[in-house]
Amino acid sequence: MRKKIVAANWKMNLNLEEGKTLVDGILGNLPMLTKQKQVVIAPSFVHLSQTVVQLDEYEHIYLGAQNCATEASGAFTGEVAASILASVGVQYIIIGHSERREYFKESNEALVKKINQALANNLQVIFCCGEPLVIRDANEQNTYVGKQIEAALFHLSNEQMKNVVIAYEPIWAIGTGRTASTEQAQEMHAHIRRVIVNKFGEAVGANISILYGGSCNDKNAIELFACEDVDGGLIGGAALKVDAFLAIINAMMFA
């Protein structure tokens, strides 16, 4: 059975104190997670050493980072290497988020390097893909997302793919309040799984977790997570509020 995951992407929000309060609030009412039903919290780099201490005694809730460097170490001012993140206790890294691709011009080549760095340091990758509105309007989303996956993941071995989670995040749904319909989400998730099966075989495809992201919240999570190929969510805005995030975690628990 593949894992279900709810992952919080805090983006560039919350100061240290606010982050601590949010995590305390979540831990205070956390349902009984399991190996098959996990939570990931990805705060900014600055929060990591604080959050790791807070999560220490809790099982199946993991620390994530929102980015890592393309290189292993050296003179790259302002960058943070995957090995440094691993040394703090990070277990997941979000790679290829559309905001990184768009605002920071991260190319497929850069994403490949980051993914390789993360995997070389025994970190789990949450690889993001998703189409802009013009592509969706032209009904070319399947080809577009297929190419994103091919460019970033097809060099990996079946063994390495065990440490990869895919997050489908249609760009037109991120932070816009406009969610993909359950039909749109299911259709794309099934397509992504087919792409993975075609390249890596049935077992890898059946076991890879595919998360939905893009205005997923406490109102629509139950419906989205009920889709056969939706294995949880990557949550931005709604992960910044204790009650909303707990409701999304609970939606996963009962999915």
Active site residues: 97, 169
Number of residues that bind ligand PGA (CB under 6 A): 13
| C-alpha to C-alpha distance for 205 and 192, rounded to whole angstroms | 9
Among 214, 227, 231, 249, binds ligand PGA (CB under 6 A): 214
Nearer to ligand PGA, 67 or 215 (CB): 215
Contacts of ligand PGA in 171-200 (CB under 6 A): 174-175
Q: Which stretch binds ligand PGA (CB under 6 A): 55-63, 85-93, 107-115, 228-236?
A: 228-236
Nearer to ligand PGA, 160 or 184 (CB): 184
Residue 77: CA count within 13 A, CB half-sphere:
0
Phi/psi at 81 (nearest 5 deg)?
-75, 150
| C-alpha to C-alpha distance for 57 and 51, rounded to whole angstroms | 12
235 binds ligand PGA (CB under 6 A): yes
Nearer to ligand PGA, 19 or 236 (CB): 236
Among 124, 186, 215, 220, binds ligand PGA (CB under 6 A): 215
Nearer to ligand PGA, 165 or 204 (CB): 165
Residue nearest ligand PGA, Cβ-based: 236
210 binds ligand PGA (CB under 6 A): no
| C-alpha to C-alpha distance for 94 and 145, rounded to whole angstroms | 17
Among 110, 145, 224, 234, binds ligand PGA (CB under 6 A): 234
CA distances, 98 to each of 89, 91, 130, 131, 149 (Å)? 25, 21, 8, 9, 13
List, in order, residues 6 or more apart from 156 with CB less than 8 Å away: 115, 119, 164
User: What is the smallest separation between the CB atom of 94 and ligand PGA, expressed in angstroms?
Assistant: 8
User: What is the smallest separation between the CB atom of 199 and ligand PGA, expressed in angstroms?
Assistant: 25
Nearer to ligand PGA, 186 or 215 (CB): 215
| C-alpha to C-alpha distance for 238 and 216, rounded to whole angstroms | 7
96 binds ligand PGA (CB under 6 A): no
- In order, the DSSP letters of 36-53 are TEEEEEE--GGGHHHHHH
92, 127 Cβ separation under 8 angstroms: no
In the complex, which residues of this chain contact ligand PGA (CB under 6 A)?
Answer: 9, 169, 174-175, 213-216, 234-238
